[in-house]
Amino acid sequence: MKLPVTRIQRFSTHDGAGVRTVVFLKGCPLRCAWCHNPETQRMGREMMYAAGKCIGCRACEAACPRGAHLFSNGAHVYDRSACALCMACADACPTQALTPAAQEMEAEEMISIALRDRAFYGREGGITLSGGEPTAQGEAAVKLLAMAKAAGMTTAMETCGHFAPALVAPLAGTVDEFLWDVKDTDPARHKRYVGVDNAQILRNLRALDQYEVRIVLRCILVRGVNLNTAHARAVRELFASLRHGVRVDLLPYHPFGSQKGEQLGREGGGRTDWIPTREEVEDFRREAGL
């Protein structure tokens, strides 16, 4: 069983209890305007080109069967419209200026990597699935989590919550802790900036809360969008309504994902006006009763 992995982050202490190995899977049903991991959005193959790493060796030009790499006056032009995503240029590039956004990995390989750090996990640590949206991989993600539990690891999942209701029970049986992204509590604003409203997300949250699982709410704070009193109070009410809520994490927006967006050939960059100040975050924290 293979899954598309954008990266594996070892020794993480911010994505679930204890020390964890985080597996980032490709694919997501949402299109958040502030996405920090744009390389995980689309399901298919994608090439990332970091122009600053290119040394002009022209190895990509020689390897490409479609002529997608052109050099003129020392400048490298990558023509994505001509690229067949065969990845021959990435294999030839000596500096990793050209890299696949993801690689197909066997589930057993991911488990093996995670088990290298078993000595550091203790009672709480283990594996976390993130993305993108892990549930975009459907039952394959559930099977991977089941393999991790069978290997003696605790499991966590960072999720946007937008998935088929049929996955609720299987996930409840294989995930110890959910890191549940709360993009916004206002349905109309949620749809404007994320692409869908939050109705299905909240239904899935309520359904999972009926099981014996831990739930951490993770709230992105975007200045000028959801950084306001009404949203803070709604977050407080949502958390108070949960039977198995552990805590609320506030995540101030940062524009770092814009660089990866540029490497994918997408327009638009990070918005510095969306970055909240420390005082604004603390005001939100107080309003939310955290």
Instruction: Please give the structure tokens belonging to residue 91.
Output: 């294999």
Taking the CA atoms of 84, 85, 87 and 90 in sequence, report the sign of the dihedral they define. Answer: positive
Q: Which helix (H) or strand (E) holds 114?
A: helix 107-115
Distance in angstroms between the alpha carbons of the first and the last residue of the chain: 42
Start-end of CATH 3.30.70.20 domains in the chain: 47-99
Asked if residue 222 lies in contact with residue 253, where contact means CB atoms within 8 angstroms, the answer is: yes
Start-end of CATH 3.20.20.70 domains in the chain: 2-44+102-287
Residue recorded with tokens 């990845």:
87
CA distance 35 to 26: 13
Q: Which fold has domain 47-99?
A: Alpha-Beta Plaits (3.30.70)
Q: pLDDT of the chain along its 290 residues, tens only? A: 899 999 999 999 999 999 999 999 999 999 999 999 999 999 999 999 999 999 999 999 999 999 999 998 889 999 999 999 999 999 999 999 999 999 999 999 999 999 999 999 998 999 999 999 999 999 999 999 999 999 999 999 999 999 999 999 999 999 999 999 999 999 999 999 999 999 999 999 999 999 999 999 999 999 999 999 999 999 999 999 999 999 999 999 998 878 898 999 987 667 999 999 999 999 999 999 99
- Residue 36, classed as helix, strand or coil, is coil
> Whole-model pTM above 0.75?
yes
CA distance 150 to 153: 7
Q: Which fold has domain 2-44+102-287?
A: TIM Barrel (3.20.20)
CB under 8 Å to 205, separation ≥6 — which residues? 161, 180, 215, 242
